[in-house]
Copies of this chain bind each other. A is one copy, B any other.
Amino acid sequence: MKPNFSLRLRVFNLNCWNIPYCSKDRVDRLKRLGDFLNVESFDLALLEEVWSEEDFETLRQKLLPTYPAAHYFRSGIIGSGLCVFSKHPIQELAQHVYTLNGYPYMVHHGDWFCGKAVGLLVLHLSGLVVNAYVTHLHAEYNRQRDIYLAHRVAQAWELAQFIHHTSKKADMILLCGDLNLHPKDLGCRLLKEWTGLQDAYLETQDFQGCEEGCTMVPHNCYVNQQELQPFPFGIRIDYVLYKAVSGVCVSCKTLKTTTGHDPLGGTPLSDHEALMATLCVRHSPPQDSPSLARETAEMPPLVTVLKEACMELGLGLAQAHWWLAFASCVVGGGLLFLVLLCALVAGGDSGQVALLLLGLSVGMVLGAGAVYLFHMQEAKGLWKTQAELQHVLGRAWDAQDMGSRPRPAQLLRQQLDNRAVEQ
């Protein structure tokens, strides 16, 4: 690479809020989004919540001349809602579906049915390998009593792990998406600490857009005003994050957000604001791998956030165990009803009471059995994540050569073992 090498990368991100039959002005907004993307001609447009593949196909046809490469990431029952449009050929594709993603019986929230995922596309731009990731994490429905917190932390960790393990030979990493995490939330800190990704809003030399970089603002007419009441400026949950891996440095020249209106007139493009970043990639003398550097100098903040995540997953695990116990009791109750039913039938009663009892017991055993199996899977997923975090904590202490001091991973494991025994 020449010392005066320079590459400009213009990136667009939007959670499109395109739910068929539910989202207001969907068809019109989609049309205007296509027009806008064609006019602006970004290098890369990364979209979330394009739930219908027909909508994706409509966009693909419309954007084909400007963005010849496109991909829809299929997963779950409904689909991940993630798709990408690129001006440059997509060299490679991959995706990872998050192990934990809410509960199937929370049908009204629907996240479980989507199969939330992270999609990866590898681009070769002017000789550089660019790994671009797009994702959408589980929504936060109640910030005060967030039953999905442990799942979102686990998703943030899986996202960080996926990026960490798949980007080792990339020159530059780009992550866009709706993380459903505020900047100081545990999941966001965990992701940034483990991957070393930088936040375009915090790093940019020129920001234009909503106050505090918010991407859900009260004056967007599609936003539920009540939900945003505690946040007068709105919330920042959509991100453009980036990192230079080797031989290059990346800076964010400009970052813009839409401001609750369509940039070309009309109603907003979505209930979220779009992010538009211009990144500048320049030659830089080779340095030590940042991830290796993190293992020594910058370990304390990583250790703190890993410990916090371990504790949060521990709480999630306790909750999963409570559900396992509850489901076991209901299955037991159902079996008891079956015994009662047998006694009734043996006593000659085969009338309506017996039939009702049969329905009730079968329903209880099957229903609670399914709940039991689901939460068993949840517990395994949380435990797996916790074990990976503990492994990193262990390696961190090994690297710092803490000698005879008890390692935090061991301490945590002990605490959690004790808790498991107590249950």
Contacts from A to B (Cβ < 8 Å): 71-77, 79, 89-97, 99, 113, 115, 120, 161, 165-166, 168-169, 351-352, 355-356, 358-359, 373, 376-377, 380-381, 383-384, 387-388, 391, 395, 398
- Knowing A89-B398, A352-B352, A359-B359 touch, does A391 contact B77 (C-beta < 8 A)? no
Once A115-B377, A359-B355 are accepted as A-B contacts, the answer to whether A165 and B77 lie under 8 Å apart by CB is no
Complexed CA–CA distance, A391 and B93 (Å)? 8
Q: Are A380 and B166 in contact (CB under 8 A)?
A: no
Determine how close the nearest CB of chain B comes to the CB of A121; give it in whole angstroms: 10
Beta-carbon contact of A391 and B165 below 8 Å: no
A398 to B88, CA, bound (A): 14
CB distance from A67 to the nearest CB of B (A): 15
- If the complex has contacts A355-B355, A377-B76, are A94 and B388 also in contact, measured as CB distance less than 8 A? yes
Indicate whether A380 sits within 8 Å of B77 (C-beta atoms), given known contacts A71-B391, A359-B359: yes
A97 to B377, CA, bound (A): 12
Chain B residues contacting A72 (CB-CB under 8 Å) are 387
Given that A169-B168, A398-B89 are contacting pairs, would A75 and B355 also be in contact in the complex, using a CB cutoff of 8 Å? Answer: no
Task: Pick 19 A–B contacts, CB within 8 A, sort by A.
Answer: A71-B391, A74-B381, A74-B387, A75-B380, A75-B384, A77-B373, A77-B376, A77-B377, A79-B380, A89-B395, A91-B395, A93-B391, A94-B161, A113-B373, A115-B377, A165-B165, A168-B169, A351-B352, A355-B356
**How many angstroms from the CA of A395 to the CA of B95 in the assembled complex?**
18
A91 to B388, CA, bound (A): 11
CB distance from A356 to the nearest CB of B (A): 7
A351 neighbours in B (Cβ, 8 Å):
352
Residues on B with beta carbons closer than 8 Å to the beta carbon of A358 = 359
Enumerate chain B residues within 8 angstroms of A373, measured Cβ to Cβ.
Answer: 77, 113
Q: Judging by beta carbons under 8 Å apart, are B168 and A93 in contact?
A: no
Alpha-carbon gap, A359 to B90, bound state (A): 52
A76 pairs with B380, CB closer than 8 A? yes
CA distance A387 to B73 in the complex (A): 9
- Beyond A115-B377, A165-B120, A391-B90, whether A95 also contacts B398 by CB under 8 A is no
What B residues does A161 contact at CB under 8 A? 94
A89–B398 CA distance with the chains assembled, in angstroms: 10
Q: What is the minimal beta-carbon distance from A169 to any residue of chain B, in angstroms?
A: 4
Cα–Cα distance between A373 and B377 once the two chains are bound (Å): 18
Among B74, B75, B99, point to the contact of A75 (Cβ < 8 A): B99
Alpha-carbon separation in the docked complex, A89 to B399 (Å): 12
* Cβ contacts under 8 Å, A384 to chain B: 73-75, 95
Report B-chain residues with C-beta under 8 Å of the C-beta of A165: 92, 94, 120, 165-166
Instruction: Report if A71-B387 is in contact (Cβ < 8 Å); known contacts: A91-B395, A168-B169.
Output: yes
Query: Which residues does chain B contribute within 8 Å of A352, judged by CB atoms?
Result: 351-352, 355
Sorted nearest first, the 5 A-B pairs with minimum C-beta distance are A168-B169, A74-B384, A165-B166, A74-B380, A355-B355
Chain B residues, Cβ within 8 Å of A91: 395
Residues of chain B with a CB closer than 8 A to A377's CB: 76-77, 115
Which residues of chain B have C-beta atoms less than 8 A from A92's C-beta? 165, 395
A90 to B356, CA, bound (A): 57
Q: Tell me, in angstroms, the Cα distance from A95 to B395 when the chains sit together.
A: 18
Return A302 CB to nearest CB of chain B, in Å.
Answer: 14
Bound-state Cα–Cα, A76 to B352, Å: 40
Nearest to A246 among chain B residues (CB) is B169
Q: Determine how close the nearest CB of chain B comes to the CB of A382; give it in whole angstroms.
A: 9
A95, chain B: closest CB distance, angstroms: 7
Q: Which residues of B contact A96 (CB under 8 A)?
A: 96
Q: A370 — nearest CB in chain B belongs to which residue?
A: B370
Which residues of the partner chain B approach A168 to less than 8 Å between Cβ atoms?
166, 168-169
Complex alpha-carbon distance, A71 and B383, angstroms: 12
Query: Which one of B71, B79, B99 contacts A97 once the chains associate, using CB atoms below 8 Å?
Result: B99
A189 to chain B minimum Cβ distance, whole angstroms, is 20
Most buried by B among A89, A355, A380: A380
